[in-house]
A and B are shown apart, each in its own frame.
Chain A
């Protein structure tokens, strides 16, 4: 019950004025140079420049805190199939078992089934702290189903944070209900604030019983998005903004979007690469609109980072994703299985796990600080990127061949900064190297000087070396950031002794498709 009361304190009525929220947001901006942490930059356990109040809300939320996403899991339930706008990067027709675009889902759930699934997953996975409704349509185009799901979950699992992700068209109509249900995080996808640009992204919206096309559609959409954002921040509800980076369409414009959303109190901006394979049948897929390269994405994120906190750990997961950000366990929790499973919701056990994680995070932060102190006398201008194979817990603990993705850190004498995930196709399947070999992975990691792994075979190690990427097992099972900094120190020493030559790396590929466990 105490927990319930605490939860109700979150963003409760009249919690903060808009000015206060804006001041906080303004303070939240962090420098693009020398961020020693990452998304929430700064030091310590990751709080960075966020106010204690905001940090308290986001610290256990894997979608909002890069630190948290090593330790906590989220799940999405697909209760909201209907949508009220059409986006050129989405095709609602395409939905099959092989589908792996973000937002796409194969199994629709009723609110009752969804609530049951949430309880089952939360009982099995104590890390599961967050429930999101994100589609496959728009949660607020299905308000009845979305809010019914939240209501049912809040009744039995009051410690689970509720959040939703919307296109914003009907957001102003639902702000009161969002607040009443203690939804403490809302994500709005804002791809433009200029309707002329919007017209290239959104062919139509359905609004006030009419289908509206062209620039007019985007004008209305943008107005509603920004109004919704202002209304939420005025009520103290945290708002993250997602933007899809579409080269040649809105890439340069997103800097302006960043300023617009920051000034209205958004606390985090997540710029994601466009996914547009022709086989997805989206307009952009069919017209050959390309997505950004890894370095194009990073350059834009860096440009916006001086303005506000940037989120870089988004994994663009599916609307029915279950698990830590590095995994998808949705197959274990299909509706049939969930209905048969015994559910015992143990709040105490969940809280005990979360307390343990808190301690571990302190240890990780201290280890990183200690390692960083060793770099204090270095003055080199060298900056490199290092890839890390991990399966969670904030450690270098994944075998190269088993990695579905790598975490990329940028490291310089000012510290190590997480800059993103790189998805790859599994190198090792059933003990054999994949037919495509290590080449696609090299392309995905091409901007990195090294990859830290728990273990790697001789063949891929040689191939990587040939491409100028050093494969390093020295830091197996150590903390990630500490290891990245230690590797960098060693790198500088070897450059100093002319044992190796510092090379400025090129660009890298962003793999298409959302993350799914294969």
Chain B
């Protein structure tokens, strides 16, 4: 139910952190990570996931397949 950041590609530029409407992104061990419990894939906030849109490295903020996709509350 969330996006994740591929650590090996993260430049640690921090651009995503303030853009996240759910305050799900934080710095950990030199790169940034997304808390899957907080990530809503920006549904209900923006048309596009903000971390994906602002990240300077393509394919670095990606869907985390290890968790189910986010479902908006009915």
Main SS of chain A's interface residues? loop
Contact of B15 with A93 in the complex, beta carbons under 8 Å: no
Interface of B is mostly: loop
What's the nearest-Cβ distance from chain B to residue A111, in Å? 13
B13 sits at the interface (CB 8 A):
yes
How many residue pairs bridge A and B at CB < 8 Å? 49
Which residues of the partner chain B approach A82 to less than 8 Å between Cβ atoms?
Answer: 13-15, 17-18, 54
Residues of A within 8 A of B17 (CB): 82
Q: How far is the CB of B14 from chain A (nearest CB, A)?
A: 5
Using C-beta atoms within 8 Å of the partner chain, give the interface range for chain A.
10 to 19
A81 touches B12 (CB 8 A): yes
A211 partner, pick from B13, B18, B48, beta carbons under 8 A: B48
Q: Does A92 contact B (CB under 8 A)?
A: yes
Within 8 A of A (CB), among B28-74: 46-48, 50, 53-54, 56-57
Residues from chain B with a CB closer than 8 A to the CB of A92 are: 11, 13, 56-57
Distance of B23 from chain A, by nearest CB (Å)? 15
Chain B residues whose C-beta falls within 8 Å of the C-beta of A81 in the assembled complex: 11-15
**Residues of chain A from 91 to 149 with CB closer than 8 A to chain B in the complex:** 92-93, 95, 108, 136-137, 141-142, 144
Q: Which residues of A contact B50 (CB under 8 A)?
A: 209
**Inter-chain contact A83/B53, CB cutoff 8 Å:** no
Tell me whether A141 and B15 are in contact (CB under 8 A). Answer: yes
* B13 x A84 contact (CB < 8 A): no
Q: Is B53 within 8 A of A93, CB to CB?
A: no
Contact of B46 among A84, A86, A95, A209 (CB under 8 A): A209
Residue pairs across A and B with Cβ atoms less than 8 A apart, 26 shown, are A81-B11, A81-B12, A81-B15, A82-B13, A82-B15, A82-B18, A83-B13, A83-B15, A83-B56, A84-B54, A86-B56, A93-B56, A93-B57, A95-B11, A108-B12, A137-B15, A141-B15, A142-B14, A144-B18, A209-B19, A209-B50, A209-B53, A210-B47, A211-B48, A211-B53, A211-B54
A binding-site residues for B, Cβ under 8 Å: 81-84, 86, 92-93, 95, 108, 136-137, 141-142, 144, 206, 209-211
